[in-house]
Structure formats: structure tokens, C-alpha cells
A and B are shown apart, each in its own frame.
Chain A
Amino acid sequence: MVSASPMIEVENLSVNYAGKPALDQLTLDVRRNEILAVIGPANSGKTTLLNCINRMIETIPSASVSGTVKVDGHNVAEYRDPSLLRRRIGMVFPLPVGLPMTVYENVTFAPRMAGEKDRTVLDETVQRCLKQSALWDEVKDRLDDLGTRLSGGQQQRLTIARALSLNPEILCLDEFSIAVDPVTTMKIEEVLKELNENMTIVVVTNLVLQAKRLAHRTALLLRGKLVEVGDNEVIFSRQTADARTFQYVQGLFG
């Protein structure tokens, strides 16, 4: 079942913000149905990488991009309408952003914007996504409450449910646990492992241990450059290809 070609191919990707480099000649593959963790200190270009995958980078006027990103074999730059690309990629931001609408409307936002009007389909989507994100039991009686009324941890799972609403092939999470308590973090990590059965997942994280727990492979970025990418057994061992990886993982710098 697993096809040989990678799900995401990043090739010679460079990004400048008003002349300041954020990513420098980055080349990296994400395999199908793996969980790839991207770690690195602040300003190493992790978020910029995610923004290039779904072309959100275009909403930052000062950014200039060179190099290519392919999703499922197609160059993302060739999508005439970036919305069509973004509907294939679920994105979860560091701080949960409940759109100013109800829980139900939050989860059905993406399908509705994609043109889905059938109420039964939308109802099913809400149930499926909230169950997948382990939130259904807590909010099934509060679907008409404002999304912003939920607790922080619930809101973050709401944004995950929302990101799943179009059955994306890829799910990207940017430091999802930054505003979430440890118990919820563990809950979400379990959710991600289940979702991984038929979804490629990229997790940007500041927590080295989270990468070790969650991912199959881990990539270390440093000042916009890829230091090393490899199986977790290698990255979290003494036999790393680059000495800096070992030092970073052991907390010796960063």
C-alpha cells in the first residue's frame, strides 16, 4: 500500500523575510504515512517550512521564496488557486484560534467554504472529526456554544478537529502543545498516532522528548539549514551523523 514516492518533497527551498534569510537551501522529504518531527531552536525556520508547504507564506508580503515544494508529486506553486492545495493539508497553529463562531460552525467551516451544503454530511463531519480529536464526549452537548468558550486544551483539539474536516492527506502541527496542559498533550499525541494510520503528519515541536515519543523520523534545523534528518533510533542515539544533533538532543546547547 505504501507508495514509494514521498508525500512531500522539499528541494533547495530558500526563504528570505525582507532580505533576512529564514530557510537556506533546504532539501527534505516526508514519507507517506510517517510522522516526521521537525525540531530546532527558535528562528531556525521550522514554521516557515510549514508555511511553504500550504503556501501560507504568500500572505506574508515581505517573504520571498525560491526552490520547490511538491505535495503528492505536484509542485505546489502550480496550483492556480491556493485554496485547493490548502484543503488537502490540515494545519494546526501554536495557539488555538477558535473562529468567532460556534463549535459546530468551526468544524464545518472548511467543508462549507468548499461548497458542502448538505446538513447530514456536515453533521457526520462534526461527529467524525470531534471523535477523531478526542473531543466529542466533552462537547457533544455544547455544539452550539461559541468555540471560544471552550477551555484552552479543548480549543486546541477543536482546531485539530477543524483541520481534519476535509479528510486531508497531510496534517501539519506547529508546536501544538505550547498552550496545552501535559494531560491534554498526551491525549493529542495518542490522537495523532491513531490518525497516522492513513495520514502523513509533520510535527514542529520545541520539545525534544515529544519528537522522540511521537515521530518515526526527526529533522533538526539550525538557522534555516538542515543539520540532519533520520530515523528516531539514530537521531536519539550516540551515533548521530552530525555532532550538533547529539548535542542538541542532549540539551547541551540551544
Chain B
Amino acid sequence: MEFAIKASGFSAIFFVFAIFFFVFSTASEFIFEKMDFVEFLTSPEWYPTSLSNKRYGTLALLAGTVSVTGLAMLIAVPLGLGSALFISEFTSGVVKEGLKITIELLAAIPSVVWGFIGLAVMNPLIIEVFDAPIGLNVLNGGIILGLMSVPIMTTIAEDALKAVPDSYREASLALGATRWQTAHKVLFPAARSGLLAAVLLGVGRAIGETMAVLMATGHAVQIPGSPLDSVRTLTATIAAELGETAAGSDHYQALFAVGVLLFLLTFGVNLAADLIVRGRSAR
């Protein structure tokens, strides 16, 4: 029995390394022998299926991921931290429990369903409101992705606020600070690292999300000039193209190289979040 739980504990490490090894080894021939590093990271031209002019530049895809994630965070950070603050400090009893359960339910909605919302609801709405030629773009993907990132942010941020000792609240209120001042001047600084971790985990969630952005962002490989431009993200590119390539071909390996890039991005964000949380508990 002890062995069994030990094995399940260590299996997480095994899987992380196994997956990274698989992705990296599949991509390694391309990365080290065929790929032009400068082109891969700085060229916006992604023409993997062109007959005469194959190009494997990921800059446009990266710009797609960054723009959609950035817009998503503009929506998710105020909404997620705001709802965490409200749940933790400004409500209690049935309302509090009801909100917590509902927000956790929000996290359980499958991403393909969010994609439906992007296609069927947001798309016509954006065309109507902004008079745009097409509603599948950065704005659409950003909103969908932002709403998808809210639950994880709210949950982690609420935990962080809950971890602030009640004595801080009492001391601050008894000194004549209002509840808002207490939240702003005492609780936020005290929970700072936990709140930052919440935001970074939300970012990690947004960067890695595939299906919803594939459906909502319009599938155009370009560096967006405005939120109404269509884009394609790193994840959407892999999902859309991998099934169409021959295993072992350059294109196939290039998509795994994109996977390595994505892995490094999310790994970096999650590691940062983890180090921040650990830094807090060590202090």
C-alpha cells in the first residue's frame, strides 16, 4: 500500500519528464539539423505546406497567443481578483457558498462549449457592435479565454485572501479603516504573493488553452494590428495541422518544435507562480 501511494506520487514527475522527452525528441532532429533558429523565432511567415517556399516562422503564432492571452488577462484579472475579494471579504453565508460553488462549476464547462459560445454568440455580436467583417478574432478569443481563466484565478486568490489572519482585519477595522481600505491597504499587500500566483496560473491556463481559441479566433496566421483582426495561436496551429501531416515529415517535426516552445512558455509561467508561492511560505 505504501508503495502504491509512493508510486502515484512519483508518477507525476515521471509523466512530466516522459511527455517533455517525447515532444523534445520528436522535434530534436528538426530543431538541431533543419531549423533556422532566427527564422523560427523572428519570422512571421508560417508556410509549412508551400511547395516552393516553405517557411517555419512562429512569430505570428506567438503574436496570436500573446495578444489573445493579454486581452484575456485584461478581462480575467479584474474580474477574477474582484470576485475573490467580494467572496472573501464582502459577503458571507449562503451567498458566499453559492458563489464559490457556481464559480467552480464555471471551471467545469468543457472548453469546446466555450468555443460554441465564441462561434454562435460572440461572433454575430462582435459583427453587429463593431461593424467588423468577421467576429472571429482577438477580441472574441480574448473574451472567451478571459472568462475561462476567471475560475482558477478566483479560487486561488480567494484562498490567498482567506489565509490572511483575521487579526489583521480586526486590527485594521478597529483603527477606523473602512472595509475597502482594509482590503486595499492591508489584505492585498499581505496576500500579494498568493494573488500574483493566482494571476500567473490564470496566464498559464490561457496560454495552454486550445479548443476554444481554435474556434473563436478566426484562423489567420498574421500579426494582429487591432483586436478585430483574426489570429492563430500556437496551440490552435498544432491542433489544426498535426492531423494533416505525414508522421516524420518536416512539417510534423516543426509542429513538435512549436510544442516545445509552448511547453517552455507554460513551464516558465507555472514555475514562476510556484516559486512565488514557495517564497511566501518560506518567509
Q: A residues touching B (Cβ–Cβ < 8 Å)?
A: 54, 56, 59, 61, 81, 83-84, 86-87, 91, 93, 95, 97, 99-101, 109-110, 113-114, 159, 162-163, 165-166
Contacts and interface: CB of A to CB of B under 8 A. Distances in A.
B175 A97 contact: no
Max chain B C-beta neighbours (<10 A), residue from A61, A113, A114: A113
A93 B176 CA distance: 15
B71 interface: no
A113 B175 contact: yes
A97 B168 contact: yes
A84 B175 contact: no
A113 B177 contact: yes
A100 B181 CA distance: 15
Contact of B167 (A87, A95, A166): A95
Interface in B148-176: 165, 167-176
B75 to A, nearest CB: 30
B185 A59 contact: no
Contact of A101 (B92, B93, B165, B189): B189
Contacts of B177: 83, 109-110, 113
Contacts of B189: 100-101
A110 B176 contact: yes
B174 A54 contact: yes
B176 A97 contact: no
A114 B178 CA distance: 9
A95 B170 CA distance: 12
Nearest to B171: A97
Interface of B: 92-93, 165, 167-178, 181, 185-186, 189-190
Contacts of A113: 172, 175-178, 181, 185
B167 A86 contact: no
27 contacts: A54-B174, A56-B174, A59-B169, A59-B170, A61-B92, A61-B93, A81-B178, A84-B176, A86-B176, A91-B175, A93-B171, A93-B174, A95-B167, A97-B167, A99-B168, A99-B172, A99-B186, A100-B168, A100-B190, A109-B172, A109-B177, A109-B185, A110-B175, A113-B172, A162-B175, A166-B175, A166-B176
A52 to B, nearest CB: 13
A173 to B, nearest CB: 12
Nearest to A159: B171
Contacts of A86: 173-176
Contacts, number: 63
A88 to B, nearest CB: 8
Max chain B C-beta neighbours (<10 A), residue from A83, A114, A163, A165: A83
A61 B94 CA distance: 12
Contacts of B186: 99-100
Contacts of A56: 170, 173-174
Give the 9 A-B residue pairs with the shortest CB-CB distance, closest first: A87-B176, A110-B175, A113-B177, A91-B174, A86-B176, A97-B167, A97-B171, A83-B176, A100-B190
Majority secondary structure of chain B interface residues (helix, strand, loop or mixed): helix
A81 B167 CA distance: 21
A97 B174 CA distance: 12
Given A61-B92, A61-B93, A99 B171 contact: yes
Nearest to A114: B176
Nearest to B169: A59
A242 B76 CA distance: 64
Contacts of A87: 175-176
A113 B178 CA distance: 8
Contacts of A163: 175
Max chain A C-beta neighbours (<10 A), residue from B92, B170, B176: B176
A48 B176 CA distance: 18
A155 B125 CA distance: 58
B168 to A, nearest CB: 6
A122 to B, nearest CB: 14
A42 B168 CA distance: 24
Contact of A97 (B93, B170, B181, B185): B170
A154 B106 CA distance: 48
Max chain A C-beta neighbours (<10 A), residue from B92, B169, B185: B185
A54 B186 CA distance: 20
Contacts of A100: 168, 186, 189-190
A97 B164 CA distance: 12
A101 B172 CA distance: 12
A95 B166 CA distance: 12
Nearest to B181: A113
Nearest to B174: A91
A166 B168 CA distance: 19
Max chain B C-beta neighbours (<10 A), residue from A84, A91, A165: A91
B89 to A, nearest CB: 11
A83 B178 contact: yes
Contacts of B176: 83-84, 86-87, 110, 113-114, 166
A2 B33 CA distance: 93
